[in-house]
Amino acid sequence: MTQLRFQFSWIEMKWTLGKWELICAVVFLGWLFCKYLMGRRWGKQEERGDQPHDRLQPPRGTSGWPLIGETIEFIASGYTSRPVSFMEKRKSIYGKVFKTHILGRPIIVSTDPDVNKVVLQNQGNVFIPSYPKSVIELLGESSILQINGGLQKRLHAIVGGFLRSPQFKARITKDIQNSVKLTLSSWMDRENPRQPLYLQDETKKITFEILVRLLMSVEPGEDMEFLKREFMEVIKGLICLPIKLPGFRMYKSLQAKERMLKMVRKVVDDRKTTMKNEAKNPGLPNDVIDVLLRDTGESDGTQQGLPLDFISENIIEMMIPGEDSVPMIMTLAVKYLSDNPTALACLVDENEKLKKRKDESCEEYVWTDYVSLQFTQGVISETLRMANIINAIWRKALEDVEINDYLIPKGWCVLASLTSVHMDEENYENPDEFDPWRWEKTGVSVKSNNFTPFGGGQRLCPGLEFSRLEISIFLHHLVTTYTWVAEEDQIVYFPTVKTRRKLPVIVTPR
């Protein structure tokens, strides 16, 4: 799974070990060892029973091998076709919540939907995000993904409110349609249209441009290319040795972020000037920069606008969760459909009907057309369930917490495994089967504890509805424009969810 994707399916993890990094790897291992010893000491205290809570004990489990704990098994499961096997094995021995030691630290893993719910909802006051050091460095202190309390709530509400608004959806629907159609038509303009094309790359092209447009209204061209290039450099550093010295990966990524920041800051400054000139008649907000600049701080009582540096940094940081997730779900939906001709036929049928209706009435598509396609929504939910891009949520307990007879001790990291819940036969019949029809019975409910691909609580993904809309539009135009044959490919779950060969497909116009 998933598991070692550090929950960042959106993260490109690349370990580039140069000679300096090799030296540092040794230092890093030493540090891991110290952490291990500290973990052991904690474990001994626990055995002696000098715990703050007399009644409850932390979940059962094992620390595994000295130094590496259970990391190897954890990583290895990510390379199998059943990435939840690491979790399942321990669940069968210790129960749904257990203790382990992976990635250099003791961790409590929850595969229990009710415990996960409490962890996700107790945001900010008891549980805070807990990312690997390199991610913390790269995100910066003011990132929405890291901040807690009132400011996180405010930022979340502004961005979520904008992305959920019907005005935004109406506008972005047109943008997505244009972008999807442009990409689809380019497939036939190639020198040899019978050559396979790599769906994983094609979907990325569409979604990055849309993401940048919704955040800061940059159109395709030189600036867009600059952003693409620099952003790719930034995300390479998300999981690497957190050393900020020249020559190291982290340094290069931080430099790339600086360059991006300069450009984004200029867009924010220009927009601020335009806003001042249009103070009396500002019109509807176009993008996330607009809504952040216009917010006056009424909702949290501060009555203060957000600092321009804070806005600029967050625009870049919001690209991180949005960049990889949507194109991967698009690609994997096509993969699952290619392997399930009956499901594909149902999807084509539903979408052909919509197209026919639109052609006959000569009406334009509106966003509700796409999201009301029941079977298509089932395909998206089923893809999200099976290939949970963000497989788990990492949190740290700020105090001792009791949840359903478990004690989570202060300072411990909790990994709320979403995939384990999605792939548990207690929650889903035949969980390994791609079955979009199952959603006809249960409906697509984001409130259900058993289906949380977008997280939950105060940090529920603000891009949820937008993502589903974008994927629906892509699937509609793909299946009504082309048929395809997908070449043999495999899903890999480590370090992030990907298809091994980028899903090569040969397309034929309908």
Say if residues 293 and 271 touch (Cβ distance below 8 Å).
Answer: yes
List strand residue ranges (DSSP E) for 59-162, in order: 97-102, 105-110, 127-129
**390 lies in the binding site for ligand HEM (CB under 6 A):** yes
- CB atoms under 10 Å from CB of 197, counted, come to 18
**Cα(138)–Cα(265) distance, rounded to whole angstroms?**
17
Q: Which of 325, 331, 419, 496 binds ligand HEM (CB under 6 A)?
A: 325
Coil, strand, or helix at residue 203? helix
Shortest gap between Cβ of 326 and ligand HEM (angstroms)? 5
Containing H/E element for 119? helix 113-121
What CA dihedral angle connects 14, 383, 491 and 331, to 10 degrees? -70
Write the binding mask 252 to 291 for ligand HEM: x where contact by CB under 6 A, - elsewhere. ----------------------------------------
- CB atoms under 10 Å from CB of 185, counted, come to 11
The amino acid at 188: M
Nearer to ligand HEM, 154 or 271 (CB): 154
Coil, strand, or helix at residue 503? coil
**Cα(88)–Cα(111) distance, rounded to whole angstroms?**
9
Say if residues 253 and 232 touch (Cβ distance below 8 Å).
Answer: no
- Tokens at residue 91, please? 């669940």
Question: In the Cβ-directed half-sphere of 335, how many Cα atoms lie within 13 Å?
Answer: 28
List strand residue ranges (DSSP E) for 276-433, in order: 392-397, 401-403, 406-408, 413-417
Residue 248 phi, psi (nearest 5): -85, 150
Q: How many residues in the shown chain lie near ligand HEM by CB under 6 A?
A: 23
**455 lies in the binding site for ligand HEM (CB under 6 A):** yes
- CB atoms under 10 Å from CB of 495, counted, come to 20
Q: Which residue is nearest to ligand HEM (CB)?
A: 463
Nearer to ligand HEM, 152 or 331 (CB): 152
Shortest gap between Cβ of 49 and ligand HEM (angstroms)? 34
**Cα(392)–Cα(9) distance, rounded to whole angstroms?**
9
Q: Which of 463, 476, 491, 497 binds ligand HEM (CB under 6 A)?
A: 463
Residue 465 phi, psi (nearest 5): -70, -40
Among residue numbers 213 through 242, which ones bind ligand HEM (CB under 6 A)? Answer: none
Candidates 11-19, 222-230, 324-332, 349-357; binding stretch for ligand HEM (CB under 6 A)? 324-332
Q: Which of 459, 476, 498, 502 binds ligand HEM (CB under 6 A)?
A: 459
Candidates 234-242, 253-261, 386-394, 443-451; binding stretch for ligand HEM (CB under 6 A)? 386-394
Nearer to ligand HEM, 90 or 154 (CB): 154
Shortest gap between Cβ of 213 and ligand HEM (angstroms)? 11
Among residue numbers 139 through 198, which ones bind ligand HEM (CB under 6 A)? Answer: 144-145, 152, 156
Q: Which of 59, 69, 106, 129 binds ligand HEM (CB under 6 A)?
A: 129
Shortest gap between Cβ of 129 and ligand HEM (angstroms)? 5
- Tokens at residue 225, please? 């290319």
Candidates 18-26, 168-176, 441-449, 455-463; binding stretch for ligand HEM (CB under 6 A)? 455-463
Candidates 103-111, 183-191, 257-265, 388-396; binding stretch for ligand HEM (CB under 6 A)? 388-396
Burial of 478 per CB tally in 10 Å (0-12, 13-18, 19+): buried
Nearer to ligand HEM, 340 or 467 (CB): 467
Residue showing tokens 């048929």: 483
Candidates 194-202, 321-329, 364-372, 432-440; binding stretch for ligand HEM (CB under 6 A)? 321-329
Shortest gap between Cβ of 219 and ligand HEM (angstroms)? 18
**113 lies in the binding site for ligand HEM (CB under 6 A):** no
Shortest gap between Cβ of 288 and ligand HEM (angstroms)? 8
Nearer to ligand HEM, 127 or 248 (CB): 127
Q: Which of 24, 238, 347, 461 binds ligand HEM (CB under 6 A)?
A: 461
**322 lies in the binding site for ligand HEM (CB under 6 A):** yes
Containing H/E element for 273? helix 249-277
Nearer to ligand HEM, 71 or 452 (CB): 452
- Tokens at residue 28, please? 């890093």
Say if residues 459 and 124 touch (Cβ distance below 8 Å).
Answer: no
Burial of 178 per CB tally in 10 Å (0-12, 13-18, 19+): exposed
Nearer to ligand HEM, 129 or 132 (CB): 129
Q: Which of 216, 326, 392, 486 binds ligand HEM (CB under 6 A)?
A: 326
461 belongs to an annotated ligand binding site? yes
- CB atoms under 10 Å from CB of 121, counted, come to 14
Cα angle 336, 342, 348; round to 5: 85
**Cα(455)–Cα(116) distance, rounded to whole angstroms?**
10
Shortest gap between Cβ of 321 and ligand HEM (angstroms)? 4
**316 lies in the binding site for ligand HEM (CB under 6 A):** no
**318 lies in the binding site for ligand HEM (CB under 6 A):** yes
Write the binding mask 391 to 410 for ligand HEM: x where contact by CB under 6 A, - elsewhere. --x-----------------
Residue showing tokens 């997280």: 455
**495 lies in the binding site for ligand HEM (CB under 6 A):** no
**Cα(22)–Cα(297) distance, rounded to whole angstroms?**
47
Q: Write out the residues near ligand HEM by the rule CB under 6 A.
A: 129, 144-145, 152, 156, 318, 321-322, 325-326, 329, 389-390, 393, 453-455, 459, 461-463, 466-467
Binding site for heme: what residues are annotated?
Answer: 461
Binding site: what residues are annotated?
Answer: 461
